[in-house]
A = this chain, B = another copy of it.
Amino acid sequence: MSKVTTMSEAIGRLVADGASVAIEGFTHLICHAAGHEIIRQGRRDLTLCRLTPDIVADQMVAAGTVSRLVFSWLGNPGVGSLHAIRRRIEQADPAPLEIEEYSHFGMVGRYTAGAAGLPFFPLRSYEHSDLPRANPRIVPLPSPYGDDSVYAVPPLNPDVAIVHVQRASAEGDAQAWGLLGCQKEAAFAARRVIVVCEEVVPESVIRADPNRTLIPNMIVDAVVQAPGGCHPSFVQGYYDRDNPFYLDWDGISRDPAALEAWLQEWVYGLADHAEYRARLGAERWAALAPGEAWAPPVNYGSYR
């Protein structure tokens, strides 16, 4: 059964006001297209779960869709700060922003516990740091085998996970390569999953390389084809990071008026991500195209 739909329909159906939403992807496969559609539909009071809130998080916070962040690293990677988010945290401008803060492995552990139906995940972190003081959900846990102890983090089960991949079948089996972050754990932890892909491929492509499947269709609620949907982030083998955009964002984000103008021009003023992609222009996309580097063949064997 095909689950292919539009981003507008998927967000409209699966992301409600007040929901917790995981948009994962560690530098790679960050679905800006979904963030923009959430902004466009005017969602409010979202809890955004993401190890590394970066540009799309700054945009979503600036647009007023997000009232709470669950995270482990906050910034414009390789550039500096996210100024809209900083204004809200440092000066409650224009409103306070609730935060719930972990370390990277703490967040990964939270998704893992959420995905695995565990009441906690144990890890060797936090001892003597101020993080458990800042976040009382991080608690010490003695080993049941005697003189050792670890810290525990609680499971994270977002209402929705939005996962971008290179290719997916219409039914939702999703394959990715390159940096995988914690996309799999976030998807299995979530109550609903939206797969966004560069390409919808025949099921036979998926079935010809089952080890590449990151997310199985049985946990997927919608499949959206959005080529270029991670811009200015990147998709391994499809397009490079648009670094000038990351640099430009620093200036835009420092100035609330410039940020609002950007949202008007690039989000509210466009019907969908196809328009965004067209507006960026063929030349910019061409500059982001990588050369070819094909994986060597592997034989699964035919067994009849």
Contacts and interface: CB of A to CB of B under 8 A. Distances in A.
6 residue pairs, one from A and one from B, having the closest CB atoms: A290-B301, A291-B302, A209-B295, A119-B143, A237-B299, A237-B301
19 contacts: A117-B124, A118-B122, A120-B143, A140-B144, A166-B298, A177-B211, A177-B300, A178-B211, A205-B296, A236-B300, A237-B298, A238-B299, A238-B301, A290-B299, A290-B302, A290-B303, A291-B301, A291-B303, A291-B304
A294 B141 CA distance: 48
Interface in A98-135: 117-120, 122-124
Contacts of A209: 295-296, 298
A1 interface: no
A237 B290 contact: no
A292 to B, nearest CB: 6
Contact of A302 (B140, B180, B293, B301): B293
Interface of A: 117-120, 122-124, 139-141, 143-145, 148-150, 152, 154, 166, 177-178, 180, 205, 208-209, 211-212, 236-238, 240, 290-304
A141 to B, nearest CB: 5
Number of copies: 2
A144 B298 CA distance: 46
Nearest to A206: B296
A236 B208 CA distance: 13
* SS of A interface (majority): loop
Contacts of A118: 122-124, 150
Given A150-B119, A304-B291, A296 B238 contact: no
A292 B148 CA distance: 51
* Chain B CB within 10 Å, residue with most, of A118, A140, A143, A295: A295
A301 B177 CA distance: 11
A145 B120 contact: yes
B303 A298 contact: no
Contacts of A236: 300-301
A286 to B, nearest CB: 14
A127 to B, nearest CB: 13
Given A119-B148, A122-B122, A299 B303 contact: no
Contact of A296 (B124, B152, B208, B292): B208
Contacts of A205: 296
Given A120-B144, A236-B301, A295-B298, 15 more contacts: A118-B150, A119-B148, A120-B122, A120-B143, A122-B122, A139-B145, A177-B300, A208-B293, A212-B298, A237-B300, A237-B301, A240-B301, A240-B303, A290-B301, A294-B300
